[in-house]
Amino acid sequence: MDAAHEPQRATPAPAPAGAFSVEVVEDRWRWSPAARAVLRLPPEEAVSTTERLCAHLQPRDAQRLRDELTAAACGRGPFGALVSFDDGRGGRRWAALTGRPADGRGARGPVRTFGGQVVDVTGDVLREVSEVAAVHLRTALESRQVIDQAKGALMLVYGTGAEEAFELLRWCSQQRNVKLAVLAERVVALCRSGLELPGNVRTRLDDVLQTTFTRQAGGEGPAPAAAHAEPVPDVAVSWPGDGRVPVLRVSGDVDLASAPAFSAAVAGAVEEAEPPHPVVVDLSEVGYLGSVGVSVLTSAHRRCERGGTPLRVVLGTRTDVLDFPGLRSLRLHRDVASATAPDAPGEGADAATGADGGAAPVDLRAREGSPALG
C-alpha cells in the first residue's frame, strides 16, 4: 500500500502538565494554573508550603516527596517523585513531580531554588495496573487448573472425594513447606511422565465410561457417582503392663490419604508419654508404610529425643516398606513386648539381630519381602 494511502494513526493527546518552582529555605511552592489543575489544588494555594501540599497526598507519597526534596537540596541534584491524591470525586489520580536546581551556574552549598514540572500520569498508571492484574489473574487461573488436575489424580489413586483430595494436597504442602501450586505441578508432571496404573484401575475406569455412554444412549442419564469415604488407618492407644508406656496400635495402610490421621495419632501418643518411659508405635498390622508415614515417625523421633521419651516402632515382617531415608534412625522392634521392655536393646534399626529372639531390634536386611539393601 502506498504510504500516502496508509491509515493515519491518531496521535495520543499529551498528558496534562504544568510548571512549578520551590524556594527551599522559605518553604514556598509556586504553582502555575496548569500545575494546580493537575494536582486539583484550589486557587488560594497557588503559593503554598510543603505541609499544605503533602496534606493533599497519600501519607507514604508525602514522606517520599519530603525525602527526595531534602536529598536533592543537599546533594545539588534533581529530584522526582510519583504521588497519588484524591481527585475530589472519590477517585484517585497520580502525578509525577520532577525538579532541577535553579540557583544558576557556580552556586554552592544546598540548593535554594528548584524549577520543575508536574505531569498527570493517571492513564499510564491505570494501564500498568490493569496489565499486572491481568497477569496475576491468568497465573491464578493456571494454578487453579493444575491444582484441579492434581486433585483428580489423588481422587483416582486414593479413592477420595474432591474436598478430601484438596485437603491431602494442602496438608502435604504444609508438611513439606512447598507451595501448593508447585506441589500440584509435580504431581501432574509425574502423571504425564507415564505413571502406570494397575490393570484393575484401568479396567474399572473403562467400565464406568462404557456404562455412562450406554445409559446416555438409552436416555437414562449418566450413572450416579459412587460416594467415597476418606481412607484412614484404624488407630488406638493402649497402656499395657504398669500403664506408664503408651502404645499406639495401627492397622491398615499408611500413605498420603491416611497421613493426616496417622500424624495426629502419633502426636497424641507422644503427648501422653512421660520421661524416661518410651512411646511405642505398633505397625505390625499395617500392610503398607509409605514415605509420608516414615516422615511422620522420624519427626516424632526427633521430638521424643528432645523430650527424653524414646520412640520405639514395632514393624510387621510382612509390612510393605522400602528403606526410605530416615527409617534406619528409628528404633525398630519385632513385637510390642520387646519395645515396651525397660531395657529394650539397640539404638537403631541397623543393629545386629540378638540371640534372644523377639527382644532384638528388627534387622531390615532380614525382613521377609523387603528389597535387598546394599
CA dist 53 and 118 (Å) reads 13
Q: Is there a domain that residue 228 lies in?
A: no
Handedness of CA 145, 148, 154, 157 (dihedral sign): negative
CA dist 162 and 58 (Å) reads 45
Q: Is there a domain that residue 168 lies in?
A: yes
Q: Is the backbone peptide bond immediately before 276 cis, with ω within 30 degrees of 0?
A: yes
pLDDT at residue 204, as a whole number: 55
Q: Is there a domain that residue 200 lies in?
A: no
Domain stop point among 77, 105, 120: 120
Indicate if the pLDDT at residue 202 is higher than 60: no
Q: Is there a domain that residue 352 lies in?
A: yes
Domain stop point among 120, 144, 167: 120
Whole-number Cα distances in Å, 49 to 14, 23, 61, 69, 311: 28, 10, 16, 13, 72
Average pLDDT for residues 148-164, to the nearest whole number? Answer: 77
Indicate if the pLDDT at residue 322 is higher than 60: yes
The count of domains in the chain is 3
CATH number for the domain including 353?
Answer: 3.30.750.24
3-state secondary structure of 131: helix
Verify that 240 and 342 share a domain, yes or no. Answer: yes
In the chain, pLDDT over 90 holds for what percent of residues?
Answer: 14
With beta carbons less than 8 A apart as the criterion, state whether 82 and 121 touch.
yes
DSSP state of 361: B
With beta carbons less than 8 A apart as the criterion, state whether 31 and 46 touch.
yes
pLDDT at residue 346, as a whole number: 45
Average pLDDT for residues 250-271, to the nearest whole number? Answer: 84
Q: Is there a domain that residue 274 lies in?
A: yes
Question: What does the mean pLDDT of the chain come to?
Answer: 75
Q: What is the distance of C-alpha 247 from the center of its chain?
A: 35
pLDDT at residue 363, as a whole number: 45
pLDDT at residue 373, as a whole number: 30
DSSP state of 236: E
Per-residue pLDDT tens over the stretch 230-249 = 455 666 656 665 567 888 88
Verify that 244 and 348 share a domain, yes or no. Answer: yes
Q: Mean pLDDT lowest for which of 63-67, 210-214, 367-371?
A: 367-371
pTM of the model: 0.44
Q: Which three cell numbers stand for residue 142?
A: 493456571
CATH number for the domain including 146?
Answer: 1.10.10.10
Range of the domain at 355: 234-366
